[in-house]
Chains A and B, each alone.
Chain A
Amino acid sequence: MSKLFISCDQATTICDKNQYGEATVLDKLKLGLHFLRCKICKMYTKQNALLSRVFGVYADEKCSEKKYLSVEDKQEIEEKIAEKLN
């Protein structure tokens, strides 16, 4: 039974996991019990949800940009390969 009561470190780990929808039912129960006696972790959870939204906006932007090697970089690698082939 004592395992139901967790530390702030464990509670916030579950909270982080929950941000990706991967916390189990038991995890969430432990988290709820922890909130009853810890206001700080409750606040962490609220802030964490906001951070997830910030990360989400950033991710949308990041994933739409494609990055390529420059023409010079490609040429440089091509030359090195040619060198090694000879």
Chain B
Amino acid sequence: MFLKIFIPSLVQNQLIPVTTKHTLVPEKWVQSYSDYLYNYTITRVNNDELSKDLVQETFFAGLKSMKNFQGMASERTWLISILKRKIIDHYRKINSKKGKAEVRMNFYKDGENEGEWIEERAPNSWSSDADKDIENGELKNTLEECIGRLPEKYGMVFKMKTIQGFETEEICKELEITPSNLWVIIHRARTQLRKCMEDNWFNN
């Protein structure tokens, strides 16, 4: 009984903020959201120029579909949803024909040696003090160069997983790929990186 009397007023009070409609103010987009959107993009694609383009395209796409904005989500959430689409589109583009030719094979694809190491890409032993100075600045440069040599798709997934530390589930959802797909990509990226680091650092 006691509760019943109070519930209507509680509900009413809570409903007020929910019913407020969000509005779009495109004149302020750059000032309010460009840093946020840019950082969101660069942690995923890790390329300054491309990140700038994607942010710009997001704003333009936003302008085009302003009339479809229902005011249910905040302006920022709405812009992020457009940006997410742009990132998936970019991933799809690099995932198509062009990326495939660049992949270095580390294992025999068929024949009686299927799945075995291709000799010249198999690990060689590293010197016993290989782990001596892993904080070395030049080592960092070498790694950066090796990551830069990965096909873009492999670089993108590898960095999201390893450098940014995203959860597997999150990456799969964002790029619309399966976990087994993700592990194949990580595997190929890491075997290629291992070879590159061996040639340019650990056995140099």
Contact = CB atoms under 8 A, between A and B. Distances in A.
On whether the two chains bind one another, the answer is yes
Name A's interface SS. helix
A12 B30 contact: no
Interface residues of A, number: 41
Interface in B113-152: 114-117, 122-123, 125-126, 130-131, 134-135, 139-140, 143-144
Contacts of B34: 69, 74, 77
Interface size class of B (residues with CB under 8 A): 35 or more
B194 interface: yes
Interface string B28-41: 01110011001100
Contact of A77 (B59, B161, B183, B191): B59
B131 A50 contact: yes
Contacts of A85: 26-27, 63
B126 A81 contact: no
A7 B59 CA distance: 48
A28 interface: no
Contact of A59 (B117, B131, B162): B162
B8 interface: no
A40 B48 contact: no
Which of A20, A55, A62, A84 has the most chain B CB atoms inside 10 A of its CB?
Answer: A55
Given A57-B134, A81-B59, 16 more contacts: A7-B114, A7-B115, A12-B187, A13-B183, A16-B186, A40-B117, A40-B123, A47-B202, A51-B197, A57-B135, A57-B140, A63-B164, A73-B52, A81-B29, A85-B26, A85-B27
Interface of B: 26-27, 29-31, 34-35, 38-39, 42, 48, 51-52, 55-56, 59-60, 63, 106-107, 114-117, 122-123, 125-126, 130-131, 134-135, 139-140, 143-144, 161-165, 168, 183-184, 186-187, 190-191, 193-194, 197-198, 202
Interface of A: 6-10, 12-13, 16-17, 19-20, 22, 40, 43-44, 47-48, 50-51, 53-55, 57-59, 61-63, 66-69, 73-74, 77-78, 80-82, 84-85
